[in-house]
């Protein structure tokens, strides 16, 4: 599955949850997306939930901004770097991120970064329309 197809499918799952929460306050919505709540209430939201695993080792993980708004991707590739194609990168160059370099490709490795999973960051960028927050992820 291409990243764009995953991204679009994930956005639809997010919208479905938001429809259920339409009568909740912004703070209640953000609270609902805490990892422990999502694991229990939305087990299909993330494939890691079935194994009770987190994508990031962070105690207060919030899943509202899964598919970070700072992550940039292009399934066709952004550019060549020597003999490799850059497919994804971090737009804020997070010090906790890194690059995964393979044979012929470079991808952003976000595993060490928790920027979009902190409650304060989510409140700062909150919108009930997930796609609005994520609008630039494919634009590089």
pTM: 0.89
* 7: CB partners within 8 A, 6+ apart: 67, 73, 134, 137, 138
Q: What pLDDT was estimated at residue 3?
A: 87
> Is residue 137 in some structural domain?
no
> Is residue 16 in some structural domain?
yes
pLDDT tens string for the chain (140 positions)?
788 899 999 999 999 999 999 999 999 999 999 999 999 999 999 999 999 999 998 999 999 999 899 999 999 999 999 999 999 999 999 999 999 999 999 999 999 999 999 999 999 999 999 988 887 766 55
Cβ–Cβ under 8 Å, residues 63 and 45? yes
Domain count across the chain: 1
Q: What pLDDT was estimated at residue 140?
A: 52
The boundaries of the domain holding residue 97 are 3-131
> Is residue 136 in some structural domain?
no
Cα-only R_g, the chain? 15
> Is residue 93 in some structural domain?
yes
Q: What pLDDT was estimated at residue 10?
A: 93
């Amino acid at each position: 599955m291409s990243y764009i197809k995953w991204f679009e499918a994930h956005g639809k799952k997010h919208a479905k949850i938001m429809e259920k929460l339409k009568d909740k306050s912004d703070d209640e919505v953000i609270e609902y997306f805490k990892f422990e709540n999502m694991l229990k209430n939305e087990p299909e939201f993330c494939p890691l939930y079935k194994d009770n695993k987190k994508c990031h080792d962070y105690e207060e993980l919030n899943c509202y901004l899964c598919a970070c708004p700072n992550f940039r991707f292009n399934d066709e590739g952004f550019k060549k770097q020597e003999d490799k194609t850059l497919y994804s990168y971090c737009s804020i160059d997070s010090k906790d991120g890194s690059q995964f370099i393979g044979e012929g490709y470079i991808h952003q490795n976000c595993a060490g970064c928790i920027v979009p999973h902190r409650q304060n960051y989510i409140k700062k960028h909150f919108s009930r329309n997930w796609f609005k927050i994520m609008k630039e992820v494919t634009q590089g």
